[in-house]
Copies of this chain bind each other. A is one copy, B any other.
Amino acid sequence: MKPFENIPQSLLKSYSKLTQKKYRQSERKFLVEGVRLVEEALKSDWEIESIVISNHGLVKEVGTLTNLKINKDVELFSCSEKDFKKLTDTVTSQGIIAIVKMKEYQLKNFWNKPSKRSVIVALDDVADPGNVGTILRTCDWFGVDGVLLSKDTVDVFNPKVVRGTMGAIFHIPIISDVDLVPMIDKGVKDGFKVITTILDGGKPLNKFAFPEKAIIVFGNEARGVSAEIQNLSYDSITIPKYGDAESLNVAISCGIILNSYRA
């Protein structure tokens, strides 16, 4: 492995801007933090521009990286602990961040699924980064064929979301910042059926037969799925309630429904 060079201050400054969505969108790059996630990025076919480590504390951890094939095009930088903090909001950082180029999924491939049985998850204005990260991790467990994130949903390249995905972002096709109505309409034309999830009054999940090609939509934590998406719905499902809680967390609903889809 080539040596880690001191990062130029101008580059550090430009990387630190990637903590903000508008710069991620204009630069088409994002930050991937922590040993495990950087490993996932290295194992994937995503293009890594550089890896930055903190001079402080991480020496042990970097040892694990030397076992991985780091493409020679990846730049390796180190910096002071103070400078490193400009790249992260985590309190106890492992001191390693990769700068990764966004992969642009081809829309024409998104709906054109080879297998007869396919499931796409669509997030309609899901606001909490922890929820979106956990949902993507759950979609990865259940082998979902793709995920769509509406324009109002929190950005998938938000560092907190990236951490929560535990690498899912590198395993499944995810398209963010989507205008959900026309995008879902395309899927419907390709034979998908829209299933929305509602707290109350939908078909009970335990008696529901999923269509072969399903787009399952999860809505905002407080308001649920928007009316315009409900209008596209082929069917609505509800997870039966046996106790007193007013609602289920959206990521929990997603896990329960995907497990039922596969079971």
Contacts and interface: CB of A to CB of B under 8 A. Distances in A.
A130 B206 CA distance: 28
Contacts of A26: none
A70 to B, nearest CB: 21
Contacts of A241: 141-143
Contact of A259 (B130, B245, B259): B259
A253 B168 CA distance: 17
Contacts of A245: 137-138, 140-141, 166-168, 171
Given A252-B134, A255-B256, A259-B260, A243 B171 contact: yes
Contacts of A260: 259, 263
Contacts of A130: 130
Contact of A141 (B140, B142, B243): B243
B140 A244 contact: yes
A105 interface: no
Q: How many copies does the complex hold?
A: 2
A245 B242 CA distance: 30
A144 interface: yes
B255 A137 contact: no
Nearest to A145: B243
A2 interface: no
B143 A247 contact: no
Given A166-B247, A171-B243, 13 more contacts: A130-B130, A137-B245, A137-B249, A139-B243, A141-B247, A142-B242, A143-B241, A168-B244, A171-B245, A172-B244, A206-B262, A249-B255, A251-B251
Closest 9 CB pairs of A and B: A143-B243, A143-B242, A140-B245, A252-B255, A141-B245, A206-B263, A171-B244, A256-B259, A140-B243
